[in-house]
Structure 1
């Protein structure tokens, strides 16, 4: 659990550094701002689903996608620490690689749009991670891949719904680029799950 928290802390610092390294925006006249362009309030990490605090479809998607992305990176790290099966470990490496990349793109978009996303995994998702972190070896591998396949399907469902609902070009481009990787991760998760 300490390693998971350390990894999460490192990833948060990474995202904060990359978000801070972007070029500063010029001052904007407050009278020209619409409700969508105002920053959302930072969700409370004790809220079961921080997206409940969002005011638009765009911010709801951003918050949910960010939380799921964080969860996938922590799940990838957990596979590195607790898995016995080599394919499960490699799947964890894949999750970290893909979700670090998509997480950076998502952070860039949310920073440009002044959408605040959670810096912590929502409590409901953290419970699942806590349960998994207690398992080791073959038992971990089986349970992990069941959760991983379910998790990837939920990611795909979220992105496909957003692709239909959102009218934002930056998020739509992000969704189009990210969906194939999510589908590949789901295929890998199912294949590994069926072998265990």
Structure 2
């Protein structure tokens, strides 16, 4: 009997080994910085897509219309990638505009011509300045390399958008 017990213990046989249940998967949790970044980047993308769609159809200035369409394309790609990253990291992302951008959209919907173009492009400058800060904070303080890589990939796009929006705003004043 001792021989059987010794043999069983040397082989690592335990009663629990027979159920073939895999060990529980470790759920990856992101730092607060990474989670806040994903949330804020998503809100930023949603605003750019929604307001860009409005500008692409409603702006009176052709350059503003084109910029709106460009924002829709660029931020749709960024949001699709962010959605995939968030799903991989088990983080939910917002599905609608924040209250500030809902209010801006309501204002834009009742404006026309120069007033519409001016308010839209002014919000684009402000929003892209805020986005630069959000992305730089992630790059400098984030902890998850995949999230940092996303921020590094899209920060040059944000910089380009800000430059274009700033130029368009200056052109409207001329």
Residues 76-108 of structure 1 deviation map (CA, whole Å, 9 limit, x = unaligned): 101012200000001001101110111111011
Residue of structure 2 equivalent to 1:175: 151
In structure 2, do the counterparts of structure 1 residues 141 and 156 end up closer, same or farther at CA, with 3 Å as the change threshold? same
Where do 5+ consecutive residues of structure 2 fail to align? 1-21
CA drift of 1:179 comes to 0.6
Report the TM-score when normalising by structure 2: 0.81
- Mapped to 1, the partners of 2:23 and 2:98 lie a distance apart of 32
Larger Rg computed on CA atoms: 2
- Mapped to 2, the partners of 1:112 and 1:174 lie a distance apart of 13
Q: Does 2:37 match 1:61?
A: yes
Runs (4+) of structure 1 exceeding 6 A deviation are: none
* Number of residue-to-residue matches in the alignment: 151
- Mapped to 2, the partners of 1:85 and 1:109 lie a distance apart of 36
Superposed CA RMSD in Å reads 1.7
- Mapped to 2, the partners of 1:139 and 1:74 lie a distance apart of 18
Report the TM-score when normalising by structure 1: 0.73
Residues 8-50 of structure 1 deviation map (CA, whole Å, 9 limit, x = unaligned): xxxxxxxxxxxxxxxxxxx8716x336x16xxxxxxxxxxxxx
Where do 5+ consecutive residues of structure 1 fail to align? 1-26, 38-54
- Mapped to 1, the partners of 2:102 and 2:125 lie a distance apart of 17
CA drift of 1:130 comes to 1.2
Residue of structure 1 equivalent to 2:135: 159
